[in-house]
Amino acid sequence: MINFYFSDEYLNHDTGSHPESIQRIKTVKQLLNNKYNKHHFIEPSKASIELISNVHDKQYIEEILMNIPKSGFYHFDPDTIASSTSLNSYLMAVGGSVDSVIHSINHQSKNPVYFCAHRPPGHHAEKNKAMGFGVFNNVAIAAQFALEQKNYNKILIIDFDVHHGNGTQHIFESNPDIIYASSHQYPFYPGTGNENEIGVGNIFNCPLPSGCDSDLFRELFQKKIIDKINMKFDIIFFSAGFDAHKLDPFGFYQS
Q: 211, 182 in Cβ contact below 8 A? A: no
Please count the residues of the chain.
255
Is the Cα torsion angle 246, 78, 141, 106 positive or negative in sign? negative
Instruction: Say what the pLDDT of residue 93 is.
Output: 98
Instruction: Say what the pLDDT of residue 163 is.
Output: 96
Instruction: Say what the pLDDT of residue 252 is.
Output: 60
pTM score: 0.94
Task: Report the catalytic residues.
Answer: 124
Q: Could you tell me the domains of the chain?
A: 1-152 (3.40.800.20), 156-255 (no CATH)
CA 227 to chain CA centroid, Å, is 24
pLDDT tens over the chain, length 255 residues: 788 999 999 999 999 888 888 888 888 888 888 887 766 889 999 999 999 999 999 999 999 999 999 999 999 999 999 999 999 999 999 999 999 999 998 886 677 889 999 999 999 999 999 999 999 999 999 999 999 998 899 999 999 999 999 999 999 999 999 999 999 999 999 999 999 999 999 999 999 999 899 999 999 999 999 999 988 999 999 999 877 677 776 666 655
Instruction: Say what the pLDDT of residue 11 is.
Output: 92
CA 84 to chain CA centroid, Å, is 23
